[in-house]
Structure 1
Amino acid sequence: MHPTDHTATFPALLAEMVASRSEHPAVIHGEEVLTYRQLERRSGEMARALLASGVGKGTRIALLAPDGALWLTTFYAALRIGALVTPISTLTTPPELAHILRTSDAQILIGARRFLRRDFAKNLTAALPGLAAGTAGALRLQCAPHLRSVWLQDGDGLSWAAPVSDLLARAALPGAPDDDLLAAVEREVSPADDALVVYTSGSTATPKAVVHGQWAVACQPRALARYFLLTDADRTLCLLPAFWMGGIAAALQVLSTGGTLIYPRSPDIADAIEMIERHSVTYVVVWHVLPRLRAAAVARGIDVDAIRGMGGPPRRENGELIPPGLRANLLGMSESFSMHSAEPINQRMPDDKTGSCGRGVNGIERRVVSPDTGVEVPPGEVGELQLRGGALMTGFYKVERRTVFTADGFYPTKDLVRIDADGYAYFVGRTGDMIKTNSANVSRLEVEAALRALPEVDVALVAGLPDPEFGEIVVAAVVPAPDTNPTAEGIRATLRERLSSFKIPRRVVFITHNDVPLTETGKVRLSELREIIPSWFSEPPRVDRDTAEIH
């Protein structure tokens, strides 16, 4: 679809699914079940309430709630009327919350008051000085100057917030926008309109605010669904939080195929297992807890290999096993609305494409350039990946376009890849992952992978330390595997069989899991790591100058 086609909007997508799947279950959360017709009515009620409150196209709405009916209906309501919605992680700390509410220019915040052990009302008052003395609907905060109202599921005892039920009641007031007016508003939503802002988890710096438009929201999920073999018969359990790009993409994929989206009551593994059994789940969207989920399912006698996404061996459509390395290692990012390079999960790649991530997704353009010159490199050579078109973001919120994209509209991803003559991409590392030692480039990720392959290594962190002769030297911090007692020289000796000599860490130090700084999403905080690693190597490095040549 072309970006000027008005059918390529979220309102058009939802209307299409409601027309064809009206009484089919759209979303299940715990005991609550909403059909597509009920989801349309529930989100329509919120949309009309927002319109009655003066919300319109471009209004900035922040959404702070766990996965479930409130999150989904509010998110869809905002998309239906052309507002710009910013999902906020329920894991955010008060400083992170303050940053997002201020930099997103949020005018309205809708959310839950509590979830599990998190008290969002408490976090909000800690994040926003002066909020506790504010008046609901008339907030005036220098720390969040655009924020005017906060609506929480439970607003009791809060002078600065009102209950979501009061907001919804506005849709039923005399003179409130009716369904015809909502339909007219939806018709004015354009594929070119900005739709949502996703704050990345950020391992290296302050999270970036990625903006995606209506075209991407309406068209990319349907394209992605084909790679995961989703159909209208699927019952998809999503264990990725809805506030992350992966969770948003998963929810919209289910919607775009007319299937059923299932959320457990809580992130607890037992709740997920209950939903798998009760609703005969056919597909699970999960990353970090997959080993525990699979083990728990096996213990309950569930046929995990019959459920896509549960870690079973990949198979072709005819049931034939796909050999290791010949199923695509899907590659994507928030900026590209999930995957930009992929192959269907049941497709066996050609024998000469081992380790590939696949070809371009949904019309996205990819090119590989020299990180030093910016000149495009020949097929098969390693360089920085740049993206253009397809479902690529419209930009970073409040950041000048010229500082984000090249003059001809490509986005430099900082990913190091190679793309062969047939268009298959291979991930190599990150531009910041390269260590320059004695004029040679060493990939930090390559050395870390070689270390992790050793049975005595549990976690490996590799960095470059300044050296007056070589520029940088390669060093490694290692968390030993349980019940092992490795030595630095033993590790180096083993690596000599796997890596060129210039890639082998000149120094190895042993640390514990507690020494590793992590983000809320489990990523290593690279910015902190760069400051910490030199302290682990506090003694001046003793480099063997005689064996530091390049082979």
Structure 2
Amino acid sequence: MSTTQQQTLPALFARKVAERGDHPAVAMAGESVTYAELERRSAHFARALLQAGAGKGARIALLSADGIFWLTAFLGCMRIGALVSLVSTLCTSRELAHILRTSDTQFLVANRRFLNHDYGEKLGEALPGLANGEAGALRLVDAPYLRAIWLDDAEGMAWAEPVDALLALADSPAAPGDDLLAALEREVAASDDAVIVYTSGSTSAPKAVTHCQRTLACHPPAVAEYFLLKPDDRMMPTLPVFWLGGLVMALEVLSVGGTLVYPQSPSVDDMVEAIATLAVNRVNSWGDMMVKLREGARGRGIDVDSIIGLGEFREASGELIPPPLQANLLGMSETFAVHSAEPLDVRLPADKAGASGRTVNGYQRRIVNPETGEAVATGELGELQLRGGGLMTGFYKRERESVFTADGFYPTGDLCREDADGYLYFVARRGDMIKTRSANVSRLEVEAALREVPGVAIPVVAGIDDPEYGQRVVAAVVPAEGVDLSEESLRDALRELLSSYKVPRNIVFISESDIPRTSTGKIRLAEIGAMIASRISA
């Protein structure tokens, strides 16, 4: 096998199946599958897709809760060299329409329901043309490449087919066999684009971050070393797989031959139940979720210190690591999660408190003056630029020259400094991104949604520091003349337009003269954030 073939997710997965075939790969409340069984199911899924007309480069969107079904479908897509768009289970109808259109989705594989969401209804709202659509032969102006939708429950949806009908294609006499699938897998190349992740950007529309097969195969094993993952670990991630952090952790666990544990739902009670009944010994969580999980676990009599990631971080010797001296791992969707880190059991030197650490997996970085692009002196503040490692191939449908520097570095928008020993320190975001509960939210996207609500004249969205969320999304709104708005009515309206985590947790009402501006009319975001914070606490 050539080097380029080895650096693909299908090749990595095949190695793990050979090494760990009888070991549990995924465990859930009602079902557990081994690596060998996951290989069989994903092969069946892959052959079904091939019979349906998908192939290398096929644009496939995946909308599903975490678990065996998601991983089966995802690995099946990877094995034929498809390009998969990850769709959030939190998405609104409008967000779903945007993703299906801009990703050129040809085939959609989805759950019908999850929690209080009915994605059949959302699809009908997102794509009105479906009302006259024919299952398997769609022709929609709003999603021109979309040809087929498969739902695990397609009842009442004339434009969709059941997933069982898709899977049955693999058993038809004309379906490709395992020998053809193996030949196809050998043609999947490291440089092939593999996944599109939508993340809020500096404009009102989410960015479509694209990563290649090499990154999916090579970056997670490198990062797994920093998370100290072992083959016998049973890891429960708390970030969903449609977010980069959840996907990377899933691939980290699979790359070492460990077991992924998924709860019945993302509720704290169900997560604690999974910890108690599915022998979880690792949890990937932080912030307010970690606090809630610790409290819930203790309430069930679980020894939280016995679970790595839930208990306090310790050195290899067992000694507690003070929070300021724990590595503050840094990454983003564009870098396939972590790009700077230190191992979880390493205490930072006293003079490195607060550092994110050194580079991971061969990343190259430099700190530059964001206005001139010239490198700053060691220790000085500037914008972080990155190259190599698990860096994205680009933004889908964006010219490379508009994304990267001439020599291939990606300007991250993070203001950082780097010391003489190569330790990175994150200071702030240069742009308008708000980091809340490990998710990125564009304030411009939220402002655009607020402008659609009747009675809103001027919206200004900001992020303010929050001990639980990292940053809290907040807004100041100037109502239209003569209109009486309430905070709750605005939030209710926004829930129809935005995912729940993007909806401002606090909204205050101001007059236009209250908005702090520069002499050129630009809003002073830091000042308006402080103003909102003062009014919330008043």
The question of a shared fold, defined as TM-score above 0.5 by the shorter chain, is answered with yes
2:510 equivalent to 1:535? yes
2:229 equivalent to 1:230? yes
1:201–1:521 contact (8 Å) kept in structure 2: no
The residue type paired with residue 152 of structure 1 is L
CA deviation after TM superposition for structure 1 residue 137, in Å:
0.6
3-state secondary structure, aligned to 1:341: strand
2:22 equivalent to 1:23? yes
Match of 2:375 in 1: 376
Structure 1 residues not aligned, in runs of 5+:
435-446, 464-475, 478-510, 544-551
Match of 1:501 in 2: none
CA deviation after TM superposition for structure 1 residue 182, in Å:
0.4
Distance 2:116 2:516 in 1: 46
Tell me the alpha carbon deviations over residues 337-388 of structure 1, each in whole angstroms, 9 at most, x when there is no partner. Answer: 0011100010011121111000011001111000111101111000000111
Tell me the alpha carbon deviations over residues 389-415 of structure 1, each in whole angstroms, 9 at most, x when there is no partner. Answer: 110000000011000001111111110
State how 1:467-486 maps to structure 2 within 5 Å. Answer: none
Distance 2:327 2:176 in 1: 49
2:274 equivalent to 1:295? no
Structure 2 residues not aligned, in runs of 5+:
434-462, 478-485, 519-538
1:203–1:523 contact (8 Å) kept in structure 2: no
3-state secondary structure, aligned to 1:5: helix
1:362–1:391 contact (8 Å) kept in structure 2: yes
State how 1:516-535 maps to structure 2 within 5 Å. Answer: 520=499, 522=501, 535=510
Distance 1:405 1:534 in 2: 40
State how 1:101-500 maps to structure 2 within 5 Å. Answer: 101-202=100-201, 205-287=204-286, 288-310=288-310, 312-432=311-431
Match of 2:41 in 1: 42
TM-score, reference length from structure 1? 0.81
3-state secondary structure, aligned to 1:216: helix
3-state secondary structure, aligned to 1:209: strand
Distance 1:406 1:387 in 2: 10
Q: How many residues align?
A: 474
Q: Which has the larger radius of gyration?
A: 1
Tell me the alpha carbon deviations over residues 493-512 of structure 1, each in whole angstroms, 9 at most, x when there is no partner. Answer: xxxxxxxxxxxxxxxxxx98
CA deviation after TM superposition for structure 1 residue 175, in Å:
2.1
Distance 1:79 1:460 in 2: 36
Distance 1:226 1:324 in 2: 21
Distance 1:418 1:333 in 2: 17
The residue type paired with residue 152 of structure 2 is Q
3-state secondary structure, aligned to 1:6: helix
The residue type paired with residue 105 of structure 2 is A
Task: Go from structure 1 to structure 2 and tell me whether the alpha carbon gap of 1:462 and 1:244 turns closer, same or farther (over 3 Å shift).
Answer: closer
The residue type paired with residue 416 of structure 1 is L
Distance 1:193 1:278 in 2: 40
CA deviation after TM superposition for structure 1 residue 324, in Å:
3.1
Distance 2:388 2:164 in 1: 41
CA deviation after TM superposition for structure 1 residue 286, in Å:
2.5
CA deviation after TM superposition for structure 1 residue 89, in Å:
0.5
1:314–1:346 contact (8 Å) kept in structure 2: yes
Distance 2:309 2:80 in 1: 34
The structure whose RCO (Cα within 8 Å, separation 6+) is larger is 2
Match of 1:61 in 2: 60
Distance 2:271 2:472 in 1: 31
Distance 1:157 1:515 in 2: 33
3-state secondary structure, aligned to 2:134: coil
Distance 2:132 2:73 in 1: 27
Distance 1:524 1:396 in 2: 25
CA deviation after TM superposition for structure 1 residue 267, in Å:
1.6
Task: Go from structure 1 to structure 2 and tell me whether the alpha carbon gap of 1:512 and 1:114 turns closer, same or farther (over 3 Å shift).
Answer: closer
CA deviation after TM superposition for structure 1 residue 462, in Å:
9.8
CA deviation after TM superposition for structure 1 residue 522, in Å:
3.2
The residue type paired with residue 307 of structure 2 is I
Larger mean CA deviation between 318-327 and 382-391 belongs to 318-327
CA deviation after TM superposition for structure 1 residue 5, in Å:
2.7
Distance 1:536 1:248 in 2: 43
Distance 2:145 2:279 in 1: 45
2:194–2:210 contact (8 Å) kept in structure 1: yes
Distance 1:219 1:36 in 2: 19
2:24–2:32 contact (8 Å) kept in structure 1: yes
The residue type paired with residue 79 of structure 1 is M
Distance 1:385 1:180 in 2: 47
The residue type paired with residue 105 of structure 1 is D
1:208–1:396 contact (8 Å) kept in structure 2: yes
CA deviation after TM superposition for structure 1 residue 513, in Å:
9.8
Task: Go from structure 1 to structure 2 and tell me whether the alpha carbon gap of 1:138 and 1:243 turns closer, same or farther (over 3 Å shift).
Answer: same
CA deviation after TM superposition for structure 1 residue 431, in Å:
1.3
Distance 1:459 1:338 in 2: 19
Distance 2:29 2:168 in 1: 25
Tell me the alpha carbon deviations over residues 402-456 of structure 1, each in whole angstroms, 9 at most, x when there is no partner. Answer: 000011111111100001111100001011369xxxxxxxxxxxx955xx68xxx
1:111–1:152 contact (8 Å) kept in structure 2: yes
3-state secondary structure, aligned to 1:356: coil
1:384–1:413 contact (8 Å) kept in structure 2: yes
CA deviation after TM superposition for structure 1 residue 259, in Å:
0.5
2:29–2:278 contact (8 Å) kept in structure 1: no
2:13 equivalent to 1:6? no
Identity of aligned residues (%): 57
CA deviation after TM superposition for structure 1 residue 53, in Å:
1.2
1:368–1:382 contact (8 Å) kept in structure 2: yes
Distance 1:262 1:460 in 2: 29
2:83–2:195 contact (8 Å) kept in structure 1: yes
Larger mean CA deviation between 136-145 and 148-157 belongs to 148-157
3-state secondary structure, aligned to 2:221: helix
Match of 1:76 in 2: 75
Distance 1:520 1:121 in 2: 17
Distance 1:521 1:371 in 2: 33
2:202–2:431 contact (8 Å) kept in structure 1: no
2:88 equivalent to 1:89? yes
Task: Go from structure 1 to structure 2 and tell me whether the alpha carbon gap of 1:371 and 1:533 turns closer, same or farther (over 3 Å shift).
Answer: farther
CA deviation after TM superposition for structure 1 residue 277, in Å:
1.1
2:90–2:500 contact (8 Å) kept in structure 1: no
The residue type paired with residue 400 of structure 1 is E
